[in-house]
Structure 1
Amino acid sequence: MSRLENDTFLRALARQPVDYTPVWMMRQAGRYLPEYRETRARAGSFLDLCKNTDLACEVTLQPLARYPLDAAILFSDILTVPDAMGLGLYFAEGEGPRFERPLREEWEIRNLSAPDPNVELRYVMDAVSEIRRALNGSVPLIGFAGSPWTLACYMVEGRSSSDYRQIKTMAYARPDLMHHILSVAADAVVAYLNAQIEAGAQAVMVFDSWGGVLSEAAYREFSLAYLERVVAGLTREREGRRVPSIVFTKGGGLWLESIAAIGSDGVGLDWTMDIGRARALVGDRVALQGNLDPNVLFAPPEVVAREACRVLDAFGPHPGHVFNLGHGISQFTPPESVDALVETVHRHSRRLHAAS
């Protein structure tokens, strides 16, 4: 087993006793940090930054140089997978990601195939290996991918959407085509995450960012079933240690018990659900990750501390909590707010666990 100085994050996901609640943040390596913006400018473009091993490693480590976070997460993007499928990913200034060739024609969908992660996505695996070496056993490294449904949303819509008209029309009118896309995407995600684990990722997370736009029946058919398929296909052990998985459906609180039953080690919560109530629903079946509203970080430090304590108190001094935001940190967040957050989580949770 490889040496790991701080394994609190992994022990929390295994629902083992810990001295304090571990904390990391979705998008913790990102635009709220001035050092990230400087590196991004040197890279030339967001995609160039993702594809440059040294710079991807640099920005992954930047938040850990500032804050005593309990995990690092690979700097990349969920859309690298459909980009490797030949859909032509690009980023329009001020408009986010777009694809040059969204999937609309049946022949395009039938011709879709999963990329080889060690060929078309070799740059991601190289980054994982480099980051793992640079961390030198300080904290675990999290790899990640988008969920099949979320990837399909971008692949069919061609960009982010306000109504998901294209993909929902396909799901209801041509479910055969929809399931073909999702099946290929699921195979791609499994291969991609397993390649990250092979390269050195010590935990993996699946981001189902758009699962919450579906009805319950459609969620179960087009998102949850494929999340379960992904989790079932993951490498479970590497280097003598379990490799835990986390699934996160934004807007998925209504289906929490069903999500907790698919076999992942942890379930991420957005900020709309009380984490104490969530724990009462799932018991000790899974660890829970979350779930402070990211906009709390725009408030004064004492408010950040109060709201962080509220989340910790709601979960209680039980095993199985990884503190996080309920979604990604905003690019406009003052970096000093993160100081207040991390310090509060570590200090207050130590009191909770010591008193239990």
Structure 2
Amino acid sequence: MRTLRREPTERTPVWLMRQAGRYLPEYAAVRRGHAFEDFCKRPDLSAQVTLEAQAILGVDAAILFADLPTILEPLGFTLTYDPGPVIGNPARSAADVDAVKEVEDTSALGFVYDTVRAVRKQLPADIPLLGFGGCPFTLASYAIEGGSSRHYEHTKRLMYGDPDRWHAFLGKIGRAVAVHLRRQLAEGCQAVQIFDSWAGALSPGDYRRFVLPHTKALVEAVRPHGPVINFLTGNPALLPALAECGADCVGLDWRVDLADGWATVGHDVAIQGNLDPTALYAPLPELKRQTAAVLEGAAGRPGHIFNLGHGLLPTHDAEAVKGLVKLVADLSAR
């Protein structure tokens, strides 16, 4: 939390995206026998894996175990997993988009808030809990495509072909996410991260025209209630526009040098990142070299949170992940 405020710290703090995941034997043991959608809606299990990941790895923050597309259910979409998220009633027509609900109450996601309270009750007082949500573009893409996509044909057809309807749709999504994130902060999260996992598919011009106003509005709606980390992956050319969203911290993926990325978004915000997740497959000397390079990119400037450039992978070795956390602590303390 001090680093989010760009205050000096004795070492660089670290947490890792998807730190509660399939690479951890302890996670696999809890998950066994539960369908993913049921697992996500069990606060006792979600709290357990959130807490265990933080304790096992020794990271400086717990990250709420939940899933980005759950906010689409109160908006009127059906959500299942096979194995990734599948929207059963994608919004493909103008009538589908117009039928999306305006959400002012996210009590239907009570299982998420129950998890927040359970984790905060058991988490050490000096460890923050980070909540999270999806950015409007990524959630809209899920809702329109019906799941993951390579080219976003349906999404861009609406975006280009009916801009007014597009903006109305993203406005509904953004306002719902804002309610969801404010509730997470009210129930016990100390900060939140918003993910634009798919916005890298956009050109800078399209991002500014079709997405930036909605992400900026989301950040503005949430920031008075707690710090916001804004993470976008896939296209470093979007960083100048991302900086205009007004978040407290900007997450970088591994496709940009950390020093260059920080200079691009401005040193008046904190920065998070940005080791390539596949570096965890490297021998220890190479992992150490790459970890040191990320830290050196920050140049000792207050405001750097160490993280991966995206999430941990199911095939990562848990011992390598623990080793990375120790490397960050040792190297940054020196």
TM-score normalized by the length of structure 2:
0.97
- In structure 2, distance between residues paired with 1:121 and 1:307: 40
Is 1:326 equivalent to 2:309 in the alignment?
yes
Q: 2:174 aligns to what?
A: 186
- In structure 2, distance between residues paired with 1:114 and 1:33: 38
1:60 paired residue among 50, 67, 72: 50
Secondary structure at 2:74 match in 1 = helix
- For 1:110-149, what aligned pairs fall within 5 Å after superposition? 110-149=98-137
Cα distance per residue 1:28-53 (max 9 Å; x no partner): 111111111111114x1111111001
- For 1:250-269, what aligned pairs fall within 5 Å after superposition? 250-269=233-252
- For 1:302-317, what aligned pairs fall within 5 Å after superposition? 302-317=285-300
Letter in 2 for 1:197: L
Q: 1:13 aligns to what?
A: 4
* 1:304 and 1:340 in contact (8 A); partners too: no
- In structure 2, distance between residues paired with 1:79 and 1:260: 25
- In structure 2, distance between residues paired with 1:273 and 1:139: 29
Q: 1:348 aligns to what?
A: 331
1:179 Cα deviation (Å)? Answer: 1.2
1:235 Cα deviation (Å)? Answer: 4.8
Q: 2:162 aligns to what?
A: 174
1:138 Cα deviation (Å)? Answer: 3.5
1:118 Cα deviation (Å)? Answer: 4.2
Is 1:34 equivalent to 2:25 in the alignment?
yes
* 1:190 and 1:234 in contact (8 A); partners too: yes
Cα distance per residue 1:213-257 (max 9 Å; x no partner): 0111111122222110001101524xxxxx211101112421323
Is 1:300 equivalent to 2:283 in the alignment?
yes
* 2:231 and 2:252 in contact (8 A); partners too: yes
Letter in 2 for 1:105: S
Letter in 2 for 1:184: K
Q: 1:278 aligns to what?
A: 261
- In structure 2, distance between residues paired with 1:138 and 1:15: 18
Q: After TM superposition, where is structure 1 displaced by more than 4 Å over at least 4 residues in a row? A: none
* 1:81 and 1:115 in contact (8 A); partners too: no
* 1:148 and 1:227 in contact (8 A); partners too: yes
Unaligned runs of 5+ in 1: 1-9, 238-242, 352-356
* 2:15 and 2:62 in contact (8 A); partners too: yes
Cα distance per residue 1:45-98 (max 9 Å; x no partner): 1111110010000010121221210000100000000123231111114xx211
- For 1:43-58, what aligned pairs fall within 5 Å after superposition? 44-58=34-48
Secondary structure at 1:182 match in 2 = helix
* 1:271 and 1:293 in contact (8 A); partners too: yes
- In structure 1, distance between residues paired with 2:145 and 2:69: 13
Letter in 2 for 1:335: A
Unaligned runs of 5+ in 2: none
Q: 2:211 aligns to what?
A: 223
* 2:190 and 2:227 in contact (8 A); partners too: yes
Identity of aligned residues (%): 41
- In structure 2, distance between residues paired with 1:48 and 1:235: 31
* 1:204 and 1:245 in contact (8 A); partners too: yes
1:117 Cα deviation (Å)? Answer: 4.7
Secondary structure at 1:87 match in 2 = coil
* 1:260 and 1:285 in contact (8 A); partners too: no
Is 1:85 equivalent to 2:75 in the alignment?
yes
TM-score normalized by the length of structure 1:
0.91
* 2:223 and 2:247 in contact (8 A); partners too: no
RMSD (Å) for aligned C-alpha atoms: 1.3
